[in-house]
Amino acid sequence: MPTHSEILNATPIAADAVVAQARSMFDQGYRLVTMSVVDLGDGNVDIFYHYDLDNEMTHFRLTHPKDQPVPSISPVYFAALLVENESRDHFNLKFDGLVLDFNRTLYLDDEITSTISAPFCKISTIQKKD
């Protein structure tokens, strides 16, 4: 039953299965809604893959070390390009096989990347401006 807001129920997935999974979702006609990244604070991040077919969502959860490259699904879903680059900016994650890698310049300029290594990480503090 499709619903507009749901307590997240995501199937865990392993890093090496992500691309194959994406391919199979693509073939079944799923639309990639987006990916979400959360810093878990213990050196890992949760990466969620949200898919949709006829308004019904399917989620996958990849728990992954922050400092290791994540397989990119952008060769399968071109649309993943933006969100993966965004995560690259925000969490300093690296993606393997990203079709167009902005290399942390999608949103950020040197002023930020040289002073904060990853603005969306848990223990980073928001920079105060006076």
Partner 1 sequence: MQSVSGDVHPEVSRLSFVLCYEVRMLDTLVFGSVVFPLLAALAVYFVRGDAARNIIVPVSVAITAAAALGLAGLGSFSYSPQAILGISLNGLITVLDFALLGFIFLIALRMGNLLIMGLTVLQVLGMVYLDFFLMDHGTQVTGFYADSLSLTMVLIISIVGGLICFYGLGYMKEHEEHLHLAKSRQPRFFFFMLLFLGAMNGLVLANNLSWMYFFWEVTTLCSFMLIGHDGTDEAKTNATRALWMNMAGGVAFVAALMFLQKSMGTLSVQDILAKSAAPGMKTAALLLPMAFLCFAGFTKAAQVPFQSWLCGAMVAPTPVSALLHSSTMVKAGVYLVIRMAPAYQGTMLSAAVAIFGAFTFIATSALAVGQSNGKKVLAYSTIANLGLIIACAGINTSAAIAAAVMLIIFHAISKGLLFLCVGAIEQKIGSRDIEAMRGLFKVMPRTAVITVIGIVTMMLPPFGMLLAKWMALESAATATAAMPPLVIMLALGSALTVLFWARWAGVMLGSTVPGENPPSEHQPFTVRLPLLLLAGGAVGLSLLSPFVYSMLVAPATALYAKATAYTVSMGVFENNAGVFAVYPLFLLLGVGFVYALRAAKKVGPEAASLPYMGGSQKVVDGKIGFNGPMNGFVETAAGNYYMESLFGESKLSKSINVIAIVLLAVMLGGVL
Partner 2 sequence: MYMLSNVLRNIMGKYSTRLYPFETRPAYEGFRGKLVNNIHDCIFCKSCQIKCPSQCITVDPKEGKWDCDPFACVYCSVCVDACPTHCLSMENQHRKPAPSKFVVSLQGTPRKSKKADKSAEKPAEAAAPEA
Partner 3 sequence: MSRTIIPFGPQHPVLPEPLHLKLVVEDETIVEAVPALGYVHRGLETLASIRDYNQMVYIVERVCGICSCIHAMCYCQGLETMMNVEVPSRAKYLRVIWSELHRIHSHLLWLGLFADGFGFESLFMQFWKIRERVMDINEATAGNRVVISVNVVGGVRRDLDKTQQRWILDELDKLEKELRQLMKTMLDDYTVKKRTVGVGVLTAQQALQLGAVGPTLRGSGVAQDARQLGYAAFDELDFEPVTSPEGDSWARSKVRFMETLQSMDIVRQAISRLPDTELAAKVPGKPTGEVVCRVEQPRGELLYYLKGNGSKNMERVRIRTPTFANIPPLLAMLPGAQLADVPIAALTIDPCISCTER
- Using CB under 8 A as the binding rule, whether residue 4 contacts partner 2 is answered as no
If we measure between CA atoms, which residue out of 81, 47, 88, 87 comes closest to residue 64? 47
Helix (H) or strand (E) holding 120: none
* Two tokens, residue 76: 């399968």
| Residue 14's binding partner out of partner 1, ligand SF4, partner 3, none, with CB under 5 to 8 Å set by partner kind | none
Which one of residues 1, 7, 123, 126 is an interface residue with ligand SF4 (CB under 6 A)?
A: 123
Least CB distance from residue 57 to partner 2, whole Å?
Answer: 30
SS (H, E, C) 70-112: EECCCCCCCCHHHHHHHHHHHHCCCEECCCCCCCCCCCCCHHH
- Using CB under 8 A as the binding rule, whether residue 129 contacts partner 2 is answered as yes
- Using CB under 6 A as the binding rule, whether residue 118 contacts ligand SF4 is answered as yes
By the criterion CB under 8 A, which residues form the site for partner 1?
102-103, 105, 109-110
